[in-house]
């Protein structure tokens, strides 16, 4: 089902206040409360500038924070130099629901109250703009609408924005889990998260997760990013006391932030709120702020697990470029396809299949040809072989950031895949800027990614984007945009990758994963990397600091509708019980419940398989061994289930003994409290299915 919207209550529209009353309101704050009344947003004109503030449970989260812009060739709009006055205010209320064709949850309730306030400068040029605010039970969102008017841009309405001045004035020096923006790799999200007071930050990426001293959690992000620059957050003001963050937009090569023609409608600026860390996920706030699906039939975009010619390259066993160890050969692709078909996987990714990989492909990305195969790879034959096996070839388009070259070939490349029956493509943008010098999350790249998504949708092809623009909920509008990397994934656990800290995934769950699905590529079972080039064991810091059981738990914890069985086929052959879990674990869910969590320490999550009476539980920890006792009260009362557990085995340790996995079974009910014993760097994966009559273990 592409989209289903069903009213729960009639949406009530409160008409705009008369102009005279709106002027009177300028002296008094205008407020909108969430449907449950716990969150209140206040808009007011202070010192001639429009501000907003957010409180939850009667306590301030954001202090009065300024709103406004700076345009090229004009005085800043909204800085108070030319005082603003309220000219109109309108309210609305909505309570509807929609279904997702795939996702962490099946049904999403969209319930909010909205306040729209229009302000205008009190002196010429009397420019005006509207701020729309929506208050949800789990957060708030605001965006700007700037109409065509003199004083913003030229006579034709063409404008160049140099800055957006949206501020987030925090009520306390909150703890932040963040990734720095623009260093050490410009505009790349592939860095480890750090935890520090906001007052110590410089400029960071979103989503930014914050914890207040009194226990409220806040996540600052954005939604419905279309034809605009991606937003970072820059700390402004002194490094003492409560900090203020300001929107920092990523840039064109000439330094501009946003270019366009009026009217201007910005993305939503979102602040997700929760009283417990477990309530942050699953996050659907961004989905609710995106338009309904524009795809008539989303059935071709089906969740699946896949394998592929990928990990062997990172181990140094194979190469992307031509030569005696070329990974993307016809014979090797068939070997992986055979494994996928034999083990219920949906497809096989083949990287390095096309012309352009020889030499320094990052520097020479303009040489990529997306319809021309390497001499030792028969694309039509491999695609036909996949179809005959009942699986799909997962296409691959690495651009190395040379988007001009890719866009010239985009339509013909997608048409070729469609003709061959390829139903998914992994795109890549390795490099710090584009071939034209634009930032990775700049407006030109936002435009480019949307063009790729829409072109792929026309051809019935799903997209898995690596080195992408961040997720802002567009999968609701374009359900073929299924997953993306946008963080530091498994590849950094390969030799030379530097490794991910054992707490990395416990942070990702409460930060990056709140934006949307992540293609982390789990499932490494040869954790010592004994097949890596150069010896039986690579240096300690160059391999995954994880147990095998944790790798299984990641399939449940780190959500993606496209999940990779990332290891080599021969590695799985040596671990049949581990392979059985990977083969059976679901990738599409009706319901998600976070059972326990602490950012950077541990997380346990339960998910119900879509359309089946079956649950999976995944639990992971950092470097500390711990036992989590979690309730199974999400199960239907009065019914018995078989819990099949893949746990860290005796002596398991994420550093020096990752392999032991203990598989056991027991009967459980909704009243059971399940003890999950996790080794250092470890995890547990559990499958829950209805128990047959008389089942005992």
CATH classification of the domain holding 253: 2.70.98.10
The per-residue pLDDT for 537 is 53
Region at 153 (left for phi over 0; alpha for psi -120 to 50; beta for the rest): left
Instruction: Identify whether 304 is part of a domain.
Output: no
Of the CA atoms within 13 Å of residue 148, those in its CB half-sphere come to 9
- H, E, C per residue of 144-170: EEECCCCCCCCCCCEEEEEEECCEEEE
Task: Report which of 527, 52, 36, 45 is spatially closest to residue 315, judged by C-alpha positions.
Answer: 527
- In the block, tokens 């030569």 appear at 323
Above pLDDT 90, what percent of the chain?
89
Instruction: Please answer whether residues 231 and 269 qualify as being in contact, where contact means their C-beta atoms are separated by less than 8 angstroms.
Output: yes
| 268-274 vs 139-146, strand pairing mode | antiparallel
* Domain finish residue from 237, 268, 288: 288
What φ, ψ does residue 482 adopt, rounded to 5°?
-90, -40
| Residues facing residue 169 across a β-bridge | 63, 244
- Per-residue pLDDT of 438-464, as tens digits, reads 999 999 999 999 999 999 999 999 999
Q: Alpha-carbon distance 163 to 71, whole Å?
A: 7
Instruction: Identify whether 390 is part of a domain.
Output: no
Q: Alpha-carbon distance 592 to 634, whole Å?
A: 10
Q: Read off the pLDDT of each residue in 359-364 and give the average, rounded to a whole number.
A: 93
| 661-668 vs 641-648, strand pairing mode | antiparallel
Local confidence band at 170 (pLDDT 50, 70, 90 cut-offs) = very high
With a CB cutoff of 8 Å and minimum separation 6, the contacts of 691 are 640, 641, 642, 667
Q: How many CB atoms lie within 10 A of CB 694?
A: 6
* Domain finish residue from 288, 305, 329: 288
| 373, pLDDT greater than 70 | yes
Helices (H), 143-200: none
Q: Alpha-carbon distance 187 to 165, whole Å?
A: 20
The per-residue pLDDT for 88 is 96
- Per-residue pLDDT of 647-683, as tens digits, reads 999 999 999 999 999 999 999 999 999 999 999 999 9
- Per-residue pLDDT of 570-604, as tens digits, reads 999 999 999 999 999 999 999 999 999 999 999 99
| 16, pLDDT greater than 70 | no
Instruction: Identify whether 468 is part of a domain.
Output: no
* Domain finish residue from 288, 316, 344: 288
Structure tokens at 463: 């997209």
Helices 403-420 & 443-458 angle (0-180, nearest 10): 10
- Per-residue pLDDT of 184-239, as tens digits, reads 555 568 999 999 999 999 999 999 999 999 999 999 999 999 999 999 999 997 77
- Per-residue pLDDT of 96-126, as tens digits, reads 999 999 999 999 999 999 999 999 999 999 9
- Per-residue pLDDT of 255-277, as tens digits, reads 999 999 999 999 999 999 999 99
| 335, pLDDT greater than 50 | yes
What φ, ψ does residue 587 adopt, rounded to 5°?
-130, 5
Q: Which domain holds residue 537?
A: 490-517+526-558+586-697
Structure tokens at 443: 């407006």
Q: Read off the pLDDT of each residue in 379-408 and give the average, rounded to a whole number.
A: 98
CATH number for the domain spanning 550: value is: 3.20.20.70
The per-residue pLDDT for 185 is 59
The secondary structure of 577-592 as a DSSP string is HHHHHHHH--S-EEEE
The per-residue pLDDT for 684 is 98
Question: 637 exposed, middle or buried (CB, 10 Å; 0-12, 13-18, 19+)?
Answer: exposed
Local confidence band at 531 (pLDDT 50, 70, 90 cut-offs) = confident
Instruction: Identify whether 467 is part of a domain.
Output: no
- In the block, tokens 């949906």 appear at 346
Instruction: Identify whether 476 is part of a domain.
Output: no
The per-residue pLDDT for 24 is 44
CA–CA distance from 178 to each of 201, 458, 483 (Å)?
Answer: 9, 36, 21
Instruction: Please answer whether residues 335 and 389 qualify as being in contact, where contact means their C-beta atoms are separated by less than 8 angstroms.
Output: no
CA–CA distance from 86 to each of 15, 122, 177, 461 (Å)?
Answer: 16, 10, 37, 47
Q: Read off the pLDDT of each residue in 157-169 and give the average, rounded to a whole number.
A: 97
Local confidence band at 23 (pLDDT 50, 70, 90 cut-offs) = very low
Q: Alpha-carbon distance 528 to 57, whole Å?
A: 49
The per-residue pLDDT for 18 is 40
Question: 375 exposed, middle or buried (CB, 10 Å; 0-12, 13-18, 19+)?
Answer: exposed
* Of 526 and 238, the one with more pLDDT: 526
Q: Alpha-carbon distance 640 to 267, whole Å?
A: 47
Tally the domains of the chain. 2
Task: Report which of 54, 556, 537, 566 is spatially closest to residue 269, judged by C-alpha positions.
Answer: 54
With a CB cutoff of 8 Å and minimum separation 6, the contacts of 244 are 65, 167, 168, 169, 170, 235, 236, 237
Omega of the bond prior to 37 within 30 degrees of 0, cis? Answer: no
Rounded CA Rg of the chain: 26
The per-residue pLDDT for 362 is 92
Q: Alpha-carbon distance 491 to 486, whole Å?
A: 13
| 462-465 vs 481-484, strand pairing mode | parallel
What is the total residue count of the chain? 697
Local confidence band at 538 (pLDDT 50, 70, 90 cut-offs) = low
CA–CA distance from 330 to each of 335, 338, 634 (Å)?
Answer: 9, 12, 47
* Of 405 and 538, the one with more pLDDT: 405
Instruction: Please answer whether residues 138 and 275 qualify as being in contact, where contact means their C-beta atoms are separated by less than 8 angstroms.
Output: no
Above pLDDT 70, what percent of the chain?
93
Instruction: Please answer whether residues 497 and 529 qualify as being in contact, where contact means their C-beta atoms are separated by less than 8 angstroms.
Output: no
Mean pLDDT (the chain) is 93
Q: What is the DSSP letter of 77?
A: B
The per-residue pLDDT for 184 is 57
172: helix, coil or strand? coil
| 353, pLDDT greater than 60 | yes
Instruction: Identify whether 686 is part of a domain.
Output: yes
| 55, pLDDT greater than 90 | yes
| Residues facing residue 95 across a β-bridge | 111
The per-residue pLDDT for 183 is 66
Task: Report which of 565, 519, 603 is spatially closest to residue 278, judged by C-alpha positions.
Answer: 603
Instruction: Identify whether 478 is part of a domain.
Output: no
Q: Alpha-carbon distance 240 to 222, whole Å?
A: 27
Instruction: Identify whether 175 is part of a domain.
Output: yes
Instruction: Please answer whether residues 187 and 432 qualify as being in contact, where contact means their C-beta atoms are separated by less than 8 angstroms.
Output: yes
């Amino acid at each position: 089902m592409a989209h289903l919207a069903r009213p729960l209550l009639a949406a009530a529209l409160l008409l705009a206040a008369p102009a005279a009353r709106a002027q009177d309101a300028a002296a008094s704050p205008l407020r909108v409360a969430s449907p449950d009344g716990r969150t209140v947003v206040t808009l007011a004109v202070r010192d001639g500038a429009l501000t907003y503030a957010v409180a939850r449970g009667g306590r301030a989260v954001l202090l009065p924070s300024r709103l406004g812009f700076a345009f090229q060739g004009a005085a800043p709009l909204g800085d108070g130099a030319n005082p603003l006055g309220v000219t109109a205010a309108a309210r609305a209320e909505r309570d509807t629901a929609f279904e997702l064709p795939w996702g962490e949850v099946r049904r999403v309730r969209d319930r909010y109250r909205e306040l729209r306030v229009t302000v205008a400068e009190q002196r010429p040029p009397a420019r005006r703009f509207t701020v729309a605010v929506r208050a949800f039970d789990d957060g708030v969102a605001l965006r700007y609408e700037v109409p065509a008017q003199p004083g913003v841009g030229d006579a034709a309405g063409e404008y160049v924005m140099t800055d957006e001045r949206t501020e987030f004035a925090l009520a306390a020096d909150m703890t932040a889990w963040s990734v720095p923006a623009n260093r050490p790799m410009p505009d790349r999200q592939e860095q480890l998260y750090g935890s520090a007071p906001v007052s110590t930050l410089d400029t960071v990426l979103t989503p930014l997760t914050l914890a207040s001293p009194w226990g409220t959690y806040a996540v600052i992000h954005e939604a419905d990013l279309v034809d605009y620059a991606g937003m970072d957050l820059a700390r402004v003001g002194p490094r003492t006391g409560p900090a203020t963050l300001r929107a920092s937009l990523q840039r064109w090569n000439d330094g501009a932030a946003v270019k366009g023609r009026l009217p201007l409608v910005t993305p939503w600026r979102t602040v997700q709120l929760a009283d417990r860390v477990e309530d942050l996920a699953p996050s659907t706030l961004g989905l609710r702020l995106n338009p309904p699906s524009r795809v008539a039939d989303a059935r071709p975009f089906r969740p699946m697990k896949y394998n592929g010619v990928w990990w062997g390259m990172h181990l140094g066993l194979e190469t992307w470029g031509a030569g005696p160890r070329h990974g993307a050969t016809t014979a090797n692709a068939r070997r992986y396809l055979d494994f996928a078909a034999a083990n219920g996987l949906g497809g096989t990714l083949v990287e390095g299949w096309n012309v352009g990989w020889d030499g320094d492909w990052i520097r020479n990305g303009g040489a990529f040809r997306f319809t021309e195969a390497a001499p030792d790879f028969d694309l039509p034959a491999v695609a036909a072989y996949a179809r005959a096996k009942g699986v799909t070839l997962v296409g691959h388009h690495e651009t190395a950031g040379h988007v001009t070259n890719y866009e010239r070939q985009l339509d013909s490349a997608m048409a070729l895949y469609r003709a061959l029956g390829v139903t998914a493509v992994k795109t890549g943008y390795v490099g710090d800027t584009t071939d034209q010098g634009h930032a990775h999350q700049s407006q030109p790249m936002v435009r480019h990614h949307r063009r790729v998504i829409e072109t792929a949708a026309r051809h019935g092809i799903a997209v898995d984007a690596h080195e992408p623009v961040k997720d802002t909920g567009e999968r609701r509008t374009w359900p073929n945009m299924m997953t993306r990397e946008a963080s530091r994934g498994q590849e950094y656990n390969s030799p030379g990758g530097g490794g991910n800290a054992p707490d990395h995934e416990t942070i990702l769950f409460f930060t990056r994963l709140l934006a949307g699905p992540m293609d982390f590529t789990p499932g490494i079972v040869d954790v010592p990397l004994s097949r890596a080039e150069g010896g039986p064991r690579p240096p300690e810091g160059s391999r995954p600091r994880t147990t095998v059981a944790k790798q299984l738990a990641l399939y449940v914890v780190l959500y993606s509708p496209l999940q990779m069985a990332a290891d080599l086929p021969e590695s799985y052959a040596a671990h049949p019980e581990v392979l059985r879990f990977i083969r059976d674990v679901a990738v599409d869910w009706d319901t998600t419940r976070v059972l326990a969590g602490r950012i950077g320490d541990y997380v346990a999550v339960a998910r119900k398989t879509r359309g089946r009476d079956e649950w999976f539980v995944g639990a992971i920890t950092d470097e500390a061994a711990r036992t989590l006792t979690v309730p199974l009260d999400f199960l239907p009362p009065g019914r018995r289930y078989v819990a099949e557990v893949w746990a860290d085995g005796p002596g398991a340790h994420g550093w020096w003994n990752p392999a032991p996995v203990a598989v056991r079974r027991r009967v459980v009910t909704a009243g059971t409290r399940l003890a999950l014993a996790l080794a250092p760097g470890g995890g547990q994966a559990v499958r829950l299915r209805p128990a047959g009559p008389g089942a005992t273990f």
